[in-house]
Amino acid sequence: MASMSDPQFPAPSEAAVPAASQPMRIVGLHHATLICSDLERTTAFYRDQLGLALQEEGVNADDPATRHFWFSSDPQASGSEPALRLTFLEYPEMAKATQGVGGVHHLALAVASAAEVEAWRDYLQQREIPTTETFERDKLRSVYLRDPDGQIIEIVAPSD
């Protein structure tokens, strides 16, 4: 894990920091990249079961021997437009991850309504994809499931 003093990730120089007339702000999450063991199985889950569009198939620019697929909730969205974008790198020989500090606990996928959370739970269970029962907490309603590699997925909406 790189530290802030790691020469591979140097601190920005004063010249690199924008002037006050150019405000800096994070405007959203561009994408999240996950590691999977089998991109066909991952595609069958995220595209065919969750309805995300397979937007691009390619290779990892940093590791050209590794396949890299991009999925989106809106296949027409560009990188500057709001949409869910998940990418997956395929490493079939890599060991399974364990949870811990520095890891991602789960992905929370937003839907429009609490009723839609219930509909997703029923839809997934009908397809023999195990889910939790519905949770109601902190003004949110959600249901949890796991993807084919064990990543925890939450489907969540504001409570009605």
E strands in 11-105: 32-36, 53-60, 63-72, 85-90
Average per-residue pLDDT in the chain? 88
Range of the domain at 57: 29-93
Answer whether residue 14 shows pLDDT above 80: no
Tell me the whole-structure pTM to 2 decimals. 0.81
Is 160 inside a domain boundary? yes
Using alpha carbons only, give the angle 48, 52, 55 rounded to the nearest 5 degrees. Answer: 110
Q: Are residues 78 and 112 in the same domain?
A: no
Q: Are residues 88 and 57 in the same domain?
A: yes
Task: Give the tens place of pLDDT for each residue, 59-98.
Answer: 999 999 999 999 999 877 665 556 789 999 999 999 998 8
Give the residue-averaged pLDDT of 96-119.
93
Domain containing 151 — which CATH number?
Answer: 3.10.180.10
Is 2 inside a domain boundary? no
